[in-house]
Amino acid sequence: LIERIDGDIDAVTRFSSTAVLHLAGNAILVIGVLVVSAFIDWRASALIALTVLAALWVTARLRRIAVPYYDDEREVQGKLYGDVEERLGGLEDLRANGAGRWAEHRLQQHSAGWWRTARRAALRGDGSISLAGAVFAAGSIATLALGVWLARRGEMSVGSVLALLRFSQLVSDPLWRVAEQLAEAQKAVAGTGRAARLLATAPAIVDGTGDDLPDGALSVELRNITFGYGTGHPVLTGVNLVVPAGSTLGVVGRTGSGKTTVGRLVARLWDTEQGEVLVGGVDVRRLRLADLRRRIGIVTQEVELFRASLRDNLTIFGTLPADNGQLQRVLVDVGLEDWFRSLPHGLDQHLDGNDELSAGEGQLLAFARVLLADPALVILDEASSRLDPVTEARLAGATDRLLAGRTALIIAHRLATLDRVDRICVLDHGRVVEHDDRSLLAADSSSHYHGLLLAGQAVDGVVS
């Protein structure tokens, strides 16, 4: 994607900024040569013009054939850059697991693929220059032969013959430059096509018609949901859930059971393939995305901090309007008061992304964002999974304040984080196997949730 935005647009810009002017200047030079040679002899001028047209036809014809190959080259180039970015992002894991040789091999494979596609494109694109050169050579020979024939008949002087020969050679210089610019033109055409396809990509999530959400806490309902991210292999199958407004639901299950997918569907990060997702009694597909996003707050285990000031990180660059007092209050609420006071520039302190804060501090900052947004529905997806017990204890009070008067979906592996929820939903292989009050399921020795609690206690005992 970055290669399309950067490389393809750069090819178009390069052609439009320089090549067009060069093409115009060289075209004027060729026309001038043809006009001057016509004053010497119209037949020689016509022959030179015929040579120019033949060379242009050969060049343009082969260049058109080369466009798909230039497109392939840009595609392979994009895959190479994407692979390099992925390897750099996982550099520590690769080094720790001794996978450096594998990463080098992958880089060599992609580089070799790029070289092969570039060679195919060059053979078809640059090959036209060689053929055009052969056409010009034949044209020069023909022009010289015509001049000699006319000179023998007394219709032309030797000086005129030499001038025509020079003219026939002179037009080749600007046309060589034209051919070079045509190479840029083909890359620009390929880049324009790829950029146009990117711009024509329709969003998978279509904005709703604008139904209104009720005020206050929002209810959540999933009706017969089946969803598999378009793979044909459902992650969720026949899921039915009801979360009354103002209540809290804990969603638990083994890894891969579909817990995170439930949160994504409620927030409409994806559209369900079958069934309905209702928030506040309204199908989320009928809601405007901006209205839905404004009423839902999400905290996941992966927190993204930007290379910007603390103020911009909290307000998401002004998306959440707040004054200094509000920003400082939410930092105090989530337990970041001491950290904030240690910053020399306060709210204007520049943060260097995720590198400057610990995992726990980053998670607390994400909670501060949600508190600032004041949503009606909160989704916590493994929000405390990266916190140590001390930091998690600091977060408990902020969580209570965040959930007060709001509906909440809390997705968790660590069952201790679900002590404050009203109801529990247990997922297994994408299906709801239990959905009831937390206290009832915890007391029922035959319930799946009770079994998960016992397993968690056994693990805690081993660790302690």
Contacts of 2 (CB under 8 A, 6+ apart): 78, 81, 82, 85
The pLDDT score that the predictor gives to residue 187 is 63
pLDDT in tens, the chain (464 residues): 555 555 566 666 666 666 566 666 667 777 777 788 888 888 878 887 888 778 777 776 766 676 677 777 777 877 787 777 777 767 666 665 566 777 788 788 888 888 888 888 777 766 666 777 777 778 778 878 888 888 888 888 888 878 877 777 777 766 666 666 666 666 666 667 766 776 777 778 888 888 888 988 999 999 999 999 888 889 999 999 999 999 999 999 888 888 999 999 999 999 999 999 999 999 999 999 889 988 998 888 777 788 888 898 888 888 888 899 999 988 988 888 888 999 898 999 988 876 677 777 888 888 888 888 889 999 988 877 666 667 677 677 777 777 888 999 999 877 777 888 899 999 999 999 999 999 999 888 888 888 888 876 543 443 33
- What strands, in cross-sheet order, belong to the sheet with 282-283? 236-243, 220-227, 274-279, 282-283
Instruction: Tell me phi and psi for residue 208, to 5 degrees.
Output: -80, 180
Instruction: Tell me phi and psi for residue 276, to 5 degrees.
Output: -135, 145
Contacts of 392 (CB under 8 A, 6+ apart): 384, 417
336-349 residues labelled b (16+ CB within 10 A) or e (exposed): beeebeeeeeebee
Quick one: DSSP state of residue 300? E
The pLDDT score that the predictor gives to residue 9 is 62
Angle of CA points 379, 349, 370, to nearest 5°: 10
416-442 residues labelled b (16+ CB within 10 A) or e (exposed): ebbeebebbbbbeebebebbeebeebb
Domains of the chain: 2-199 (1.20.1560.10), 246-273+287-463 (3.40.50.300)
For helices 172-199 and 158-170, the axis angle rounded to 10 degrees is 20
Question: In whole angstroms, what is the distance from residue 267 CA to residue 421 CA?
Answer: 20
Instruction: Tell me phi and psi for residue 239, to 5 degrees.
Output: -85, 130
Structure tokens at 117: 């596609």
Instruction: Tell me phi and psi for residue 244, to 5 degrees.
Output: -60, 155
Amino acid, single-letter form, for residue 226: T
Question: In whole angstroms, what is the distance from residue 426 CA to residue 448 CA?
Answer: 7
Question: In whole angstroms, what is the distance from residue 99 CA to residue 103 CA?
Answer: 6
CA distances for 81 relative to 85, 120, 123, 185, angstroms? 6, 20, 24, 23
**In contact, 411 and 259? CB cutoff 8 Å:** yes
One DSSP character per residue, 119-175 reads HHHHHHHTHHHHHHHHHHHHHHHHHHHHHHHHHHTTSS-HHHHHHHHHHHHHTHHHH
Angle of CA points 255, 204, 214, to nearest 5°: 80
The pLDDT score that the predictor gives to residue 247 is 93
CA distances for 159 relative to 43, 48, 215, angstroms? 17, 17, 94
Question: In whole angstroms, what is the distance from residue 432 CA to residue 411 CA?
Answer: 14
CA distances for 127 relative to 123, 177, 287, 388, angstroms? 5, 15, 56, 64
Question: In whole angstroms, what is the distance from residue 452 CA to residue 456 CA?
Answer: 6
pTM for the whole structure:
0.66
The pLDDT score that the predictor gives to residue 176 is 65
